Amino acid sequence: MASGFNWRAAIAIAVFAGGAQAQSISSGTYVLDGGSYSIEVINQGDTLLVKEPNRDSPYKRHPDGSWRFYNPNTDANYAIRYIDPATIEAYKPDQPGNVPSRLNRLGGAPAAEAAPAAPAAAPSPSGRTDFGSIADGYMRRALDEPDDVQVWSFCAAAAKKREVSTAAEADAYALKAAESLKLILTDTSRSPCEDVISPTLWSVGGSGDGASAATPLPRPELSDADKARLADLNAKADARAEAGKAEAARFEAAQQAYRDRVAEVKGAEAKFARDQAAYEAEAARVKAAEEAYQRQMEEWRRATGNPGA
């Protein structure tokens, strides 16, 4: 990030597009040099609308060819200007020494500026466009893999966004999803769902310092039916987790009962061994006493001459 300019503050208050003519600024997702922040720009003719997760800012054309936005909360003017078809700069026009921040359009310069597009899904890297089915698949994975429920929920939301939004809106959402995913994944070398968060978007989203200060991803805009289905999936996941805990407790109880039984058997075996040793010792003592008695009787018979006694 360029020194001398608080880009997050500027973007939070301003819109960007930049150029001498409104048509020179192309709608799309723009990323700050270094990849630490991104915004969506919508060219509305006389207005450039900059969309962020927590605000929208309208920039109006200025006589000097730039676009200006006044923020009454900070009592400051913010501006953007056109650099080339794929680049804009954001700066503070009232501060002559201010260093501008440069942003690059994701995907480069467009072939031609088109009218605002109707919501339409852009193909995934695999060529698929059935994002509803892709979202369902990730929701099933969230149910089947409770340890990774957050990861697959983000992937499902990104797929759903591609189903109902423009490609630019879906890319912007995917960038924010990438930021959030990189905060919870241990391996951030690749996207966990490249069919909805492409390797290019993954490499940009949450890179640099932005990964450690990412703006929380807004809750996905889901229909009531999707919300109900997600709630049902979460309830089933909770039930399966509880059932798993109960089964683990039952197994542990059975294992403990087995260990107790083994200890009981070993105790009985040890007692038997002690009793057996005592019996054998007593038997040996009795036998020795009998043998001593027999010897005494033999000696008495010889001494008395009474062999029949």
Per-residue pLDDT at 104 exceeds 60: yes
Is the sign of the CA dihedral 236, 239, 241, 243 positive or negative? Answer: negative
Six-digit token string for 160 = 């759903």
Ramachandran assignment for 80, one of left (phi > 0), alpha (psi -120 to 50 degrees), beta (any other): beta
pLDDT confidence tier of residue 112, bands split at 50, 70 and 90:
low
Q: Where are the alpha helices (DSSP H) in 165-223?
A: 167-184, 199-204
Average pLDDT over residues 29-48: 79
Q: CATH assignment of 7-105?
A: 2.40.128
Lowest mean pLDDT among 212-221, 232-241, 285-294: 212-221
Residue 158, burial from CB neighbour count under 10 angstroms (0-12, 13-18, 19+):
buried
Considering the entire predicted model, what is its pTM?
0.35
CB atoms within 10 A of CB 226: 18
Is the pLDDT reported for residue 211 higher than 50? no
CB-based contact 42:49 (threshold 8 Å):
yes
Report the distance separating Cα 18 and Cα 48, nearest Å.
9
- Helix crossing, 131-144 with 224-304: angle to 10°? 30
Q: What is the DSSP letter of 1?
A: -
Confidence of residue 206 (pLDDT cuts 50, 70, 90): low
Helix (H, G, I), strand (E, B) or coil at 189: coil
The structure tokens listed for 25 are 């600024």
Question: What CA–CA distance (Å, rounded) separates 12 from 34?
Answer: 18
**pLDDT above 60 (res 219):** no
Quickly count: other Cβ atoms within 10 Å of residue 290's Cβ.
10
User: Model confidence at 28, in pLDDT bands (50, 70, 90)?
Assistant: confident
Which tokens belong to 85?
């078809």
**Which segments of the chain belong to CATH 2.40.128?**
7-105
